[in-house]
Amino acid sequence: MKEYKALTEISAIQYCENLGFFHTGGKLKCVEIGDGNLNLVFRILDESENRSVIVKQALPYARIVGDVMPLTLDRARIEADALRIQGKYCNDMVPEVYHFDKDLAVTVMEDLREYEVMRKGLIQSTIYPKFAQDIALFLARTLFYTSDFCMLEDTKKKLVAQFINPELCKITEDLVFTEPYFDVPNNHYDIEIIETVMELRQDADLLREVFGLKYKFMTEAQALVHGDLHTGSIMVRQDRLKVFDPEFSFYGPMGFDIGAIIANLLLSYAAHRYEENQDLFLEWILSSIAKLWLHFEVEFRVLFQSCHNKKFSEFLHIENDILTALLRDSLGFAGCKMIRRVIGLAHVADLDQILNKTIKNKAEILSLHIGRDLIKQRGSIQGMDGLVSLVKLEQ
């Protein structure tokens, strides 16, 4: 067993050389490019051959706050295992894992140099025409194939055990479902929006619904979810995407991943809503949410009908009930995820980088209002058309 040590740009190069990833004698360059909240991410490039890999290492604490927040290294194992499973069902939609090292919590994986982080593209109002269709396929396949709708009972339960991820789930339980609704030191937000924050905290009906969603998150082991599927966990090009960073993976409610995508698209919508000349982009965001669900539903029904594990599909039209409940859950989780990104510890750049304070605060308040309404009205929202109308009506 090797002793854990955080890599540096120099030792990351040596690490790859020892593994024989590059031809000896090649001149290797290494840059630490991690911009997430938790890990180190190195890009190692052999310029002469124009070949590169990513070396990702979990730190024994959360990078965003430092060693006051210790964090399990086991998340690196969870991530590597999840990438392999997702790759099995969605070949080419996740980075390929070349090597995993449990002792150092290091994964060496495919570099996606020709892709960009989706959140950065959205901040520039970039439209991705294929996004909705592609992410719907990723969601339908990864969620369906790892669920009881498809897996044999014992296989699925073994996977539930393999993906027990208590520390990272606890982060979500605290940061998404609890802290935003209480006055705790982790939270931060502009004083200008305090009135809206207080309104949410005093809304007993809202708190009851959020608790119900938290309980679902904690208890419903429906499928192997990515667990943190925001637009910073997706790399995109105009014609395709790759989903990465599934260290929060665990067996949870399917709607948690779908809701994460909806939330992050709507946060981008809110961030651009008060900017000039954004009509086309705003329409694209809303139509993408509608399309996502449409494609998801079609693919999910096909998988459900063709599934070899017939114990559920024997019941006529049970998929209608499943999809209705799933849409409701997805909207509720989306709402929670919007609210946490405005009030809680970890914000999103879409809102944080808005320079005009008045516009920033209007966009934040809009996000809070949409989030609240998704949570409270999710049972009566009529499909994605209903969601689009609700969003457009918000001022």
User: Are 282 and 373 within 8 A, CB to CB?
Assistant: no
Q: Is the dihedral of CA 9, 15, 20, 21 positive or negative?
A: negative
Q: Is the dihedral of CA 146, 148, 149, 153 positive or negative?
A: positive
Find the shortest distance in angstroms from Cβ 175 to ligand SR1. 4
In which element (H, E) is residue 368 found? helix 357-377
User: Between 334 and 373, how does the x/- string for binding to ligand SR1 read (CB under 6 A)?
Assistant: -----------xx---------------------------
Taking the mean position of all CA atoms in its chain, how far away is CA 182?
24
Q: Which residue is nearest to ligand SR1 (CB)?
A: 37
Region of 116-124, 152-160, 174-182, 223-231 interacting with Mg ion (CB under 5 A)? 223-231
User: Between 225 and 244, how does the x/- string for binding to ligand SR1 read (CB under 6 A)?
Assistant: ---x----------------
Candidate list 90, 136, 139, 171; residue touching ligand SR1; CB under 6 A: 171
Contacts of 112 (CB under 8 A, 6+ apart): 54, 95, 235, 242, 244
- End-to-end CA separation in angstroms for the chain: 58
Candidate list 12, 28, 30, 36; residue touching Mg ion; CB under 5 A: 36
Integer Cα distance of 363 and 346 in angstroms: 17
Tell me which of ligand SR1, Mg ion, none is bound by residue 253, counting a contact when its beta carbon lies within the kind-specific cut-off of 5 to 8 angstroms: none
Question: Is 345 or 351 the residue whose CB approaches ligand SR1 more closely?
Answer: 345
Region of 142-150, 168-176, 236-244, 363-371 interacting with ligand SR1 (CB under 6 A)? 168-176
Region of 156-164, 194-202, 240-248, 317-325 interacting with Mg ion (CB under 5 A)? 240-248
Candidate list 46, 79, 209, 245; residue touching Mg ion; CB under 5 A: 245
User: Are 105 and 186 within 8 A, CB to CB?
Assistant: no
Tell me which of Mg ion, ligand SR1, none is bound by residue 196, counting a contact when its beta carbon lies within the kind-specific cut-off of 5 to 8 angstroms: none
User: Are 347 and 371 within 8 A, CB to CB?
Assistant: no
Integer Cα distance of 277 and 306 in angstroms: 45
Tell me which of ligand SR1, Mg ion, none is bound by residue 387, counting a contact when its beta carbon lies within the kind-specific cut-off of 5 to 8 angstroms: none
Integer Cα distance of 5 and 355 in angstroms: 39
Question: Is 342 or 346 the residue whose CB approaches ligand SR1 more closely?
Answer: 346
Question: Is 80 or 346 the residue whose CB approaches ligand SR1 more closely?
Answer: 346
Encoding tokens for residue 200? 């949410």
Tell me which of ligand SR1, Mg ion, none is bound by residue 94, counting a contact when its beta carbon lies within the kind-specific cut-off of 5 to 8 angstroms: none
Find the shortest distance in angstroms from Cβ 294 to ligand SR1. 27
User: Are 268 and 231 within 8 A, CB to CB?
Assistant: yes
Region of 47-55, 152-160, 167-175, 327-335 interacting with ligand SR1 (CB under 6 A)? 167-175
Interacting positions 19-58 with ligand SR1 (CB under 6 A): 37-38
# binding residues, ligand SR1 (CB under 6 A): 10
**DSSP secondary structure string, 90-152?**
STTSSPPEEEEETTTTEEEEE--TT-EEHHHHHHTT---TTHHHHHHHHHHHHHHHTSTTTS-
Question: CA separation (Å) from 393 to 154, 366, 388?
Answer: 47, 11, 9
62: contact with ligand SR1 by CB under 6 A: yes
Residues that bind Mg ion (CB under 5 A): 36, 228, 245
Residues that bind ligand SR1 (CB under 6 A): 37-38, 62, 64, 171-172, 175, 228, 345-346
